Homo-oligomer: A and B are copies of this chain.
Amino acid sequence: MTAPPVSDQLGLRRANLALLLGTLRAHGPHSRAGLARRTGLTKATASSLVAELTGRGLVRLGEVAPGHGRPAQLVELRPGAVCGIGLEANVDYAALAVLDVAGGTIAQRRVAVDLAGAGYDRAVDLLAALAKEGLAATDGWVAGITVAVPGLVDVDHGVVRLAPNLGWREARLAEDLAGRLAGRPVLVDNDANLSALAEHAAGVAAGTPDLLYLTGEVGVGGGVIAGGALLRGATGFTGEVGHLPLDPVGLPCGCGRRGCWETQVGLAALLREVAPPGDPVADPATDLETRLLLVRDRAAAGDARTLAALDRIGTDLGVGASILVNVLNPAAVVLGGYFALLGEWLAPPARAELAARVLAPDCGGCRLLLSDLGFTAAVLGGAHAALDRVFADPTLAPTDDSDPDPDPRSPQ
């Protein structure tokens, strides 16, 4: 998603196209004169750039805005023409999302399937089939395809280093998927990273350049946006927050230690505390979402045991989050996964802990928010990641005068 270097005039043009496109994304429709004012370019240049963006299908002329002088024709991101595709490979489901540059949803689907049991090759086949479904859903141009994977991913090489829950190891997923999709550019990234990206692009914290995404699943996942970009670290393994050592005498964790954060606030902890033995909520045979909704219903009904458990978990959530907020100073912490589903009860005690434990005045300006993207955050983030390629370099999108646009820089 990092912008290509600017060194020659084509690079300058590219940078200015990206500047306009980014302005439209961040601040909504503008007249050409308005774009010129905001970006510091001249009206002539803005007009020329808008003409090119129109030719590439990225923007269109929309409604007319009257003013004191001649009415302005607003330029806006064009829905439907240029899309990004997100895929998600998870333990018991696969998902697809197709978004256009305007942020509109072209297609979205989730398939229940035992990807972990299917084996790598059949999983790739299934992802390829989903991708083709996405490709068929749009007659526009597809900027790229991004796969969200729960595990450690080498983004630069598109390799899944280790995804324990899927049983994948050193899987050359980008390559294998591109091979089944006529060489289209395929990116691979961690699901929490992509979820953070989705919150940054479109969620409750849209536009916030510094945010921390925390998702409650079997473990606890973390994704960090810092300075408007994903924090990736030296080898792409940032956001390993599940094993914050919070209680030296706590419960044993899969990592071999005791009292890790995810033993306190992970899904297992929730189900254990919320349900007495024999309770249907604790029955692994029942669908997980059904059980979580049951928990929510009980909380809403005021069930004492449930409320006490959620209060305790919310408190521990806040303790762990405060550590991260002290280190990262985000403007927002966004809760996803089951944290969001039960956020109504988790957030108040978590906010109290944050307020008490964050050293910066006024909590460093940090707000605790609940994601409204639900369990689709990762796949939406994938689609956004694909679109970000075009926002960084609009010349990737082909021009409509059937010019195949011999772009000098090879894809992927």
A interface with B by C-beta (< 8 Å): 5-9, 11-12, 15-16, 19, 39-41, 152, 161-162, 208-210, 222, 224, 226-227, 229, 231-241, 243-248, 255, 257, 319, 323-324, 326-331, 357, 359-361, 364-366
Taking A210-B233, A238-B329 as known contacts, 10 extra A-B pairs with beta carbons closer than 8 A to each other, sorted by chain A number, are A5-B19, A6-B12, A7-B39, A226-B231, A227-B232, A234-B365, A240-B326, A241-B326, A245-B246, A323-B323
Q: How far is the CA of A5 from the CA of B245 in the complex (A)?
A: 43
Determine if B329 and A366 form an interchain contact, defined as CB atoms under 8 angstroms apart: no
Q: Which residues of B contact A329 (CB under 8 A)?
A: 232-238, 240
Residues of B within 8 Å of A240, CB to CB, are: 326-327, 329, 359-360
- In the complex where A6-B6, A15-B7, A234-B364 touch, is A327 in contact with B222 (Cβ < 8 A)? yes
Query: Copies per complex?
Result: 2
A241 neighbours in B (Cβ, 8 Å): 326-327
Chain B residues positioned under 8 Å from A152 (CB to CB):
360-361
Chain B residues whose C-beta falls within 8 Å of the C-beta of A208 in the assembled complex: 234
Q: Please pick, from B7, B255, B328, the residue contacting A231 in the complex, using a CB distance under 8 A.
A: B328
Q: How far is the CB of A9 from chain B (nearest CB, A)?
A: 7
Q: Is the CB of B226 within 8 A of A233?
A: yes
Q: What is the CB-to-nearest-CB distance from A337 to chain B, in angstroms, rounded to a whole number?
A: 18
Contact A234 B210 (CB under 8 A): yes
Say which residue of B8, B255, B359 sits within 8 Å of A359 (CB atoms): B255
Q: Name the distance in Å between A152's Cβ and chain B's nearest Cβ.
A: 7
Contact (A327, B6) CB under 8 Å given A162-B361, A233-B226:
no
Task: Please name 25 pairs of A and B residues whose Cβ atoms are closer than 8 Å in the assembled complex, sorted by A.
Answer: A7-B15, A7-B19, A152-B361, A161-B361, A208-B234, A210-B233, A227-B231, A231-B328, A232-B329, A233-B328, A233-B364, A234-B330, A234-B364, A234-B365, A235-B329, A235-B360, A235-B364, A237-B329, A237-B364, A239-B327, A240-B326, A240-B327, A244-B323, A248-B248, A324-B327
Chain B residues closer than 8 Å to A11, beta-carbon distance: 12
Measured CA separation A357–B327 after assembly (Å): 18
A196 to chain B, nearest CB (A): 13
A41 to B9, CA, bound (A): 12
Instruction: Note all chain B residues with C-beta closer than 8 A to A255.
Output: 359
Q: Which residues of B contact A226 (CB under 8 A)?
A: 226, 231, 233
Q: Are B327 and A238 in contact (CB under 8 A)?
A: yes
Which residue of the partner chain B has the closest CB to A332?
A: B234
Name the B residues within 8 Å of A232 (CB-CB).
227, 329
A257 to B234, CA, bound (A): 33
> Across the interface, do B7 and A40 meet the contact criterion of CB distance under 8 Å?
yes
Q: Which residues of B contact A323 (CB under 8 A)?
A: 244-245, 323
Partner of A366, one of B6, B161, B222, B234: B234
